[in-house]
Structures are given as structure tokens and as C-alpha cells.
């Protein structure tokens, strides 16, 4: 296996790993606040879910990048 | 059909003597949403409850107390009680229940109190059991101090050094000590004991050996617990005897109280009442007929207005150029779809109730949500179990949450099976494709290679089914999902355009939605060009007609959106792009499922099973456990991401929500029947 291939693999890993951490970091605060709001009033579930998953787009971008990198590898 | 039902506002006026009959009609029609009367209107006051309310409330209070004492939950009750029986028997039964219950509950409480007392006594005696000293010997001395308690370390050596006149006892484990010491030396003794981690324990009252006292208490406790069991049994018997009747009469009386208190929501004068209410336009005639039948011409029913979908704008506000719609009155939204769309309305309600003037998003949800779920799962091996599970769930589940999940599984499962067969040709992560043998056929004929497939599993060459492979055509799959996103969002903007036209007029709709539609279409035209430039590394031309059209649409859209919404519209542009890219999760989740399935298949079939013997069994175990895990993950990830694409990406393009749910007067009977 060429060094380039390995570097691409590492790059793909970093892309998905760091964006995952980023999403998680953002979601943890929103999620706990959303659970708090839901405890007050269950009607907030829908809004809570929407707000909680908004940062998830970051990791989806990371995943897409990783996949595109991976297609360059094989 | 797509909108909430059309509403009409009615006004009913009549003499108070007829109020009771009118309330009966309103409740039985189940189609009237009363408007709470505001006492600001001149000449009217809020009504007062009917006289029957107070008597029913008192009985209800007694019934609820009995319900609590008997711990009635109503889970096992079958059969219904007729209301006529309730009225003939309730007074008698209430007397019986309250006398029997009072005795039983009181004796139970007394027994419980006594048991608690004995237990606390026993707890106090417990440490003294360790020393062979009768209780009366601990007290009654003139020149001696008695110190009892627990210690952490043995103080005997120090005591021996410091004290002259004393006697010391300790338990066999050394944790409990009793010290009899001359009063003048007591302070010194205390000091030494504290150094050993002493905690004082008071000597309990009583006499004789502590061991004997504990024994007596235990005996007493045993008889008490027998009595307590008997008392509980009596309560259980009482519960069995009266449960059905108590629940039924609680229900009937609650209905009566609700009806009798209804005048609190309407306006009245000394002799007349006035009711404002919303009625679905289709139901007005029926309501009038019912009123006519019951009270004839004694009550006037007047149709005030059929509520238009367009939200009112005050003329002075409109002339001042304010585009903010001023809603005069909110008509309730009655959204009651037929199956199967109705199954999805719970998902809409989780966000909000649709406004009176907007399309109910449950229709879009019912079409595209199962479609997305199916695309993400895309495997017959999971699709068919989903259909079965969903069908069972729809049959058995009663709560709206579980019914919604069952609906998702059933319809999602159908699409997963269809996609799994026709698009991906896959079951449990393995393709239906001919086996590629290096010697006979070339790699290009069978693009999926000689991977693990159903052909190799069944040792026969199956025909090629399916068009793309999740793991083999990654770029194509991602590209398709971006187009799905563009189409889905266009659908959202289209519905938004329609909603805005209905609610605020064509001009408002044009500047708020058409700009975004142009931007999205422009982006769609540019997409192949950008892909060529950035990913496929194909030479691009700046005179490509598609490129020019795309740029034109994009610029026109930005201008329109800027006029309609101002500066923030430009800030939202990247948001729209991320919305589109967000749909690539359809491919990403499908791929992750396929990847996991591939890994488990390789481990189970190619790594473990070939060893033969018990390894075949182990391989099967790994295969089943792995696919069960993917199956469960599929529910969670495909379900959540599918609904998220609707909530976050789609709904924001057209759904404003915040409507008032249609809440008609009606009677729900669970334990009673009227005839």
C-alpha cells in the first residue's frame, strides 16, 4: 500500500472523527437544555428534537468528505 | 381536503330554561368548539354552574377518595355499567362503601402505626442484646454514671490507666460498650471514650433482659403482620366488589359535572344565555336540525360567518404598508385525516398543530417519510421483518407513540423491501448477483466482483437483480440523494408558496417563496458544473448554457428574496446549501448499514464458519446477533434521520404551525353505557 493511500485514509478518519466530536460537543448542551424544556412541558419534544439535531449536519459533511476521500483510495 | 376543515362561527341565544337541553345537544353532536366568553362584553356576565353540579361534585369527591383508598387503577375492568343503574344505586352504594371502607382503612392504619412503633423500639434494643445486663440495671444509681454507646476502637486500656472506680462491659465484637463509673470521674471517662470514636446510645425504657424484650416484640410483630394481611385482604375484597361500580360512577358523575359547569364558559344575563362557537361548515345544518328537534324555536341559532382561510389585515395597517398580517380571530384547525395519513398526524402534532389556513404537512410526511426510511434501510432482509413487526404493532398497540412507530415500520418496511429488491438487490447485506469467477467471466461483466453474495451462499448462479450497490456506487448514490434533497425542498417551497398565497395573498407569497425557488433551481443547474469542476476533474466551460441559466436564476432569486425578506435572506443562503447536502445522509446511513452487514457477514461466514463443526453454530450465532443489532440500529437511525429531514429541512420551508386544535364538546365513555 502506498503512503498516499494511508494518508488519504488518515485524512478520512480525521474528517469524520473531528466533525463527530464537533457535533457531539454542540449537541450535548442543546440536548440537555431540550430535555429540561421537555420536563417542563412535553409539547416541546418536537422543537427540542429539531434544535438538538441541527449541529448534526456538521458530522454529515464530515462523513461525505470521508466518503469522497475513500473513493479516491480504492 | 389538504387543509383543516372549513369553520363557521355560530351564535346561539335562548332562555336559560332551555340551557340544559342545549348543552345536551352540543355534547351529543360532538362537533362544536365553544369560544370562551370574555366578560368584557357589555350587559353580559359569565354564567353560573347548573344546580346539579354541586351535588354531583360532592359525590365525586367521596368516590375519588374511595378510589385512592382502595388503590383502584381500572386496568382489568371489563364490561360497562348502565347509567340508569348508577343513578338508582349510587346513594346506597356510597353509604355502604364509606362505612365499610372507613372501618377497614382505619384498622389498617392503626395496625401499621403500631407496627412502626414496635419496629423502632426493636431498633433501640438491638445493640443492648450484646451485653448480659438487664435493662433496669442501667439506671437508678446515685453515685454512678452509666455511659452506653458504640465505639470504633477498644478504649479498655486507656480507661484502665485513667480511672479508679469503674466497671466496663463490651460486646463480643467490641463495637458496643457500657461503662459504669463514679460520677466524679465521668467527665474524664467521656473524654477517653470520645477519642475512641464514641457515639452515645440511650438506654431504652423497660426492664428484664433485652434479648427477651426483643423476642417479645418479634412475637407481637408476627401477630400484627397477620392482622395487617387480613386487613389488606378485606380491602382487596372491597376493591373487587366495588371497583367496576366506582369507576363507572366516577366517569358518569365527571361527565355530569363537566356539563353542569359548561355555563362558566358562556355569557349570560338574568334570564338568557349566549354561546359563541366554531362548527365545521359541513356540520352546521346537522347542528341546527338537532337543536330544532330538541328545543324547537325556543333557541335562536345564527350563522355569523364562514371563516376565510386568508388571515385578516386591518385596512389601516394595509394602507400603512405593514405586511404583518393581523389575525382577528383564530379559527380552530380540525385535522382528521383518514387512514393511512392519519397515522402520521401524530408526528406533525409533535411539532405543532397546523394553522387554519395552511396545508396539513401530514400528507407530505405520509408519502416521503416511509420513502426515505425505505431508502436508508434498502434491504429485503430487514424490510420484510419491518413489515411484519409494523403490522403486528398496528394491530396491538394503542398509544399514539407506539402506533406511530408501528406505522413507520410498516410503510417504511414496504419501501425498504421494494428498494432492497429492485434498486439494491440485497438481503442481509448480500447482493443477488452472479458469482464472478476469475477464470470464466471478466470483472467488468459483473461489477460486484466475487464478493460474498447469495449466489455463493446458495451455490447457484442467481441473475443480476438491482441497479446500484450501496458500497460499490458511492458517488452515484451520493449524487442521487442530493437530487432527492433538491426535489424534496422544491416540494416544500411549492407548498409554502401555496400556503402564503392562501394566507397572505399572491404578492407576499411571491417575494417570500419564489425567490428561494429560483435560488434552489439555479443551484440545481449549477450542480453538475460544480461536480465536474471540483470532484470529477472534467474541463468546464463558462459559456455552458446550463451554467449561464443557473447563475441567472441564482441572481434573480437573491434579488427577489432580498426585496421580500431583506438582508437576512442573504445570510440564509449557506443554510439552503447545507439543507441540500444534509440529504446525503440518506446515502451515508444506507452505506453504514451495508458496511456493518458486510463486516458481520465476513466474520460469520468467511472467518468462523469454514472451521466446521461447532464453528458453524458459532458463525450462525454471530450472524444472527450482528444482524439483529443492525436491525435495531436501523429503526433508530433511519427513523430519526428520516423524521429529522422532514422536521428540520422540509417543514421550515412552509410550515408555521401554532394553530388552535379543534376541541369539540363530547363525551367519552369507557366504563359506562347509556342504554
Residue B340 preceded by cis peptide, ω within 30: yes
Q: Of B171, B189, B172, which is closest to residue B180 (Cα–Cα)? A: B189
Q: What number is the average pLDDT over the span B173-191?
A: 88
Strands B199-200 and B176-182: what pairing?
unpaired
Distance from CA of A51 to the nearest CA of B (A): 8
C-beta of residue B91 within 8 angstroms of C-beta of residue B176: no
Helix and strand tally (H, E) in chain A? 3, 0
Of A50, A70, A71, the CB nearest to B648: A50
Q: What number is the average pLDDT over the span B623-644?
A: 90
The residues with which B673 forms a beta bridge, in sequence order, are B82
What does the pLDDT look like over B573-605, one tens digit per residue? Answer: 888 988 998 899 999 889 888 888 988 988 888
Nearest 10 degrees: Cα torsion B585, B588, B591, B593: -60
Q: Which residue would you say has higher pLDDT here, B386 or B671? A: B386
Cβ neighbours of A47 in B, within 8 Å = 351
DSSP string over B254-299: HHHHHHHHGGGGSEE-SSEEEEEEEEEGGGHHHHHHHHHHHHGGGE
For residue B448, pLDDT over 60 is answered with no
Of B582, B588, B647, the CB nearest to A46: B647
Q: Of B327, B328, B358, B332, which is closest to residue B280 (Cα–Cα)? A: B332
Lowest model confidence (mean pLDDT) among B220-224, B294-298, B379-383, B440-444: B440-444
Which three cell numbers mark B67?
378510589
What pLDDT, on the 0 to 100 scale, is given for residue A74? 62
Find how far residue B664's CA is from the centre of its chain. 23
pTM: 0.75
Is any Cβ of chain B less than 8 angstroms from the Cβ of A64? Answer: yes
- Cα dist from B61 to B66, B68, B94, B98, whole Å: 9, 11, 11, 12
Of the pLDDT bands very low, low, confident and very high (cuts 50, 70, 90), residue B323 is: very low
Of the pLDDT bands very low, low, confident and very high (cuts 50, 70, 90), residue B313 is: low
Q: What number is the average pLDDT over the span B245-272?
A: 88
What's chain B's average pLDDT? Answer: 85
Of the pLDDT bands very low, low, confident and very high (cuts 50, 70, 90), residue B371 is: very high
Which three cell numbers mark B613?
463443526
Cβ neighbours of B647 in A, within 8 Å = 46, 49-50
Integer Cα distance of B652 and B329 in angstroms = 24
Class of domain A3-73: mainly alpha
Distance from CA of A23 to the nearest CA of B (A): 14
C-beta of residue B431 within 8 angstroms of C-beta of residue B454: yes
What does the pLDDT look like over B25-81, one tens digit per residue? Answer: 899 888 899 988 877 767 788 888 888 888 888 888 988 888 888 888 877 777 788
What pLDDT, on the 0 to 100 scale, is given for residue B442? 46
Is any Cβ of chain B less than 8 angstroms from the Cβ of A60? Answer: yes
Find how far residue B432's CA is from the centre of its chain. 40
CB contact under 8 A, B350 and A53: no
Which three cell numbers mark B397?
398497540
Distance from CA of B457 to the nearest CA of A (A): 26
Which three cell numbers mark B88?
338508582
CB contact under 8 A, B350 and A61: no
Neighbouring residues of B467: CB distance < 8 A, sequence distance ≥ 6:
B422, B423, B424, B425
What pLDDT, on the 0 to 100 scale, is given for residue B321? 46
- Cα dist from B226 to B70, B102, B115, B140, B256, whole Å: 19, 20, 11, 38, 43
Q: Which residue would you say has higher pLDDT here, B42 or B513? A: B513
Tally C-beta pairs within 8 A across A and B. Answer: 46
Nearest 10 degrees: Cα torsion B373, B379, B382, B385: 90
Q: What radius of gyration, in Å, describes the C-alpha atoms of chain B?
A: 39
CB contact under 8 A, B581 and A56: no
CB contact under 8 A, B588 and A64: yes
Question: Cβ–Cβ contacts within 10 Å for residue B322, how many?
Answer: 12
Cβ neighbours of A49 in B, within 8 Å = 350, 643-644, 647
Amino acid at each position: 500500500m502506498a503512503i498516499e493511500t494511508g494518508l488519504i485514509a488518515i485524512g478520512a478518519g480525521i474528517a469524520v472523527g473531528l466533525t463527530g466530536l464537533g457535533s457531539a460537543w454542540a449537541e450535548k448542551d442543546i440536548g440537555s437544555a431540550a430535555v429540561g424544556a421537555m420536563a417542563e412541558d412535553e409539547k416541546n419534544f418536537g422543537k427540542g428534537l429539531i434544535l438538538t439535531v441541527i449541529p448534526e449536519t456538521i458530522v454529515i459533511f464530515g462523513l461525505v468528505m470521508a466518503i469522497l476521500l475513500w473513493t479516491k483510495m480504492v | 381536503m389538504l387543509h383543516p376543515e372549513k369553520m363557521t362561527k355560530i351564535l346561539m341565544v335562548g332562555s336559560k330554561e332551555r340551557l340544559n337541553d342545549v348543552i345536551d345537544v352540543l355534547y351529543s353532536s360532538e362537533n362544536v368548539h365553544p369560544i370562551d366568553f370574555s366578560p368584557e362584553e357589555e350587559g353580559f356576565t359569565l354564567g353560573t354552574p347548573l344546580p346539579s353540579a354541586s351535588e354531583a361534585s360532592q359525590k365525586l369527591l367521596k368516590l375519588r377518595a374511595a378510589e385512592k383508598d382502595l388503590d383502584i387503577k381500572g386496568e382489568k375492568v371489563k364490561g360497562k355499567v348502565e347509567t340508569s343503574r348508577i343513578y338508582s344505586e349510587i346513594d346506597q352504594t356510597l353509604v355502604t362503601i364509606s362505612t365499610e371502607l372507613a372501618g377497614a382503612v382505619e384498622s389498617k392504619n392503626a395496625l401499621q402505626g403500631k407496627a412502626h412503633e414496635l419496629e423502632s423500639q426493636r431498633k433501640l434494643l438491638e445493640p443492648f442484646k450484646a451485653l448480659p445486663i438487664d435493662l433496669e440495671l442501667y439506671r437508678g444509681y446515685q453515685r454512678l454514671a452509666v455511659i452506653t454507646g458504640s465505639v470504633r476502637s477498644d478504649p479498655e486500656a486507656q480507661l484502665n490507666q485513667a480511672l479508679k472506680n469503674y466497671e466496663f462491659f463490651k460486646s463480643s465484637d467490641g463495637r458496643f460498650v457500657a461503662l459504669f463509673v463514679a460520677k466524679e470521674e465521668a467527665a474524664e471517662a467521656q473524654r477517653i471514650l470520645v477519642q475512641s470514636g464514641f457515639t452515645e446510645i440511650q438506654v431504652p425504657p423497660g426492664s428484664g433482659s433485652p434479648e427477651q424484650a426483643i423476642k417479645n416484640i418479634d412475637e407481637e410483630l408476627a401477630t400484627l403482620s397477620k392482622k395487617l394481611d387480613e386487613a389488606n385482604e378485606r380491602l382487596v375484597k372491597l376493591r373487587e366488589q366495588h371497583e367496576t361500580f366506582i369507576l363507572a360512577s366516577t366517569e358518569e358523575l365527571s361527565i355530569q359535572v363537566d356539563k353542569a359547569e359548561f355555563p362558566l364558559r358562556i355569557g349570560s344575563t338574568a334570564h338568557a344565555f349566549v354561546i359563541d362557537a366554531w362548527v365545521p361548515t359541513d356540520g352546521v345544518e346537522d347542528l341546527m336540525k338537532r337543536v330544532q328537534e330538541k328545543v324547537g324555536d325556543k333557541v335562536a341559532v345564527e350563522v355569523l360567518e364562514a371563516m376565510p382561510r386568508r388571515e385578516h389585515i386591518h385596512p389601516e395597517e394595509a394602507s400603512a404598508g405593514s405586511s404583518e398580517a393581523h389575525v382577528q380571530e383564530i379559527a380552530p384547525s380540525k385535522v382528521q385525516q383518514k387512514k393511512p395519513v392519519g397515522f402520521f398526524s401524530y408526528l406533525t402534532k409533535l411539532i405543532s398543530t397546523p394553522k387554519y389556513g395552511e396545508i396539513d404537512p401530514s400528507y407530505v410526511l405520509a408519502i416521503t417519510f416511509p420513502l426515505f426510511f425505505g431508502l436508508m434501510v434498502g434491504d429485503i432482509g430487514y424490510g420484510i421483518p419491518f413489515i411484519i413487526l409494523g403490522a403486528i404493532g398496528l394491530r396491538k398497540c394503542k398509544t399514539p407513540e407506539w402506533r406511530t412507530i408501528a406505522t413507520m415500520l410498516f410503510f417504511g418496511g414496504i419501501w425498504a423491501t421494494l428498494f432492497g429488491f429492485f434498486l439494491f438487490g440485497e438481503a442481509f447485506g448480500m447482493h443477488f448477483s452472479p458469482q464472478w469467477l476469475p477464470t470464466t467471466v471478466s470483472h467488468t461483466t459483473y461489477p460486484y466482483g466475487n464478493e460474498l453474495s447469495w449466489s455463493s451462499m446458495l451455490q447457484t448462479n442467481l441473475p443480476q437483480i438491482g441497479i446500484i450497490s450501496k458500497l460499490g456506487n458511492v458517488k452515484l448514490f451520493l449524487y442521487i440523494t442530493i437530487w432527492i434533497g433538491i426535489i424534496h425542498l422544491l416540494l416544500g417551497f411549492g407548498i409554502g408558496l401555496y400556503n402564503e398565497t392562501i394566507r397572505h395573498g399572491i404578492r407576499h407569497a411571491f417575494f417570500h417563496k419564489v425567490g428561494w425557488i429560483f435560488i434552489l433551481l439555479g443551484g440545481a443547474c449549477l450542480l453538475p458544473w460544480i461536480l465536474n469542476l471540483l470532484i470529477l476533474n472534467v474541463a468546464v466551460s463558462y459559456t455552458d448554457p446550463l451554467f449561464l441559466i443557473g447563475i441567472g436564476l441564482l441572481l434573480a432569486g437573491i434579488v427577489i428574496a432580498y426585496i421580500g425578506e431583506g438582508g437576512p435572506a442573504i445570510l440564509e443562503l449557506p443554510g439552503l446549501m447545507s439543507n441540500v447536502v444534509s440529504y446525503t445522509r440518506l446515502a451515508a446511513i444506507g452505506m453504514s448499514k451495508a458496511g456493518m452487514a458486510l463486516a458481520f457477514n465476513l466474520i460469520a461466514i468467511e472467518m468462523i464458519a469454514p472451521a466446521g463443526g461447532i464453528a458453524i453454530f458459532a458463525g450462525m450465532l454471530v450472524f444472527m446477533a450482528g444482524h439483529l443489532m443492525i436491525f435495531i440500529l436501523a429503526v433508530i437511525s433511519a427513523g430519526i434521520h428520516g423524521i429529522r429531514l422532514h422536521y428540520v429541512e422540509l417543514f421550515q420551508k412552509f410550515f408555521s404551525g401554532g394553530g388552535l386544535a379543534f376541541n369539540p364538546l363530547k363525551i367519552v365513555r369507557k366504563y359506562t353505557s347509556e342504554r
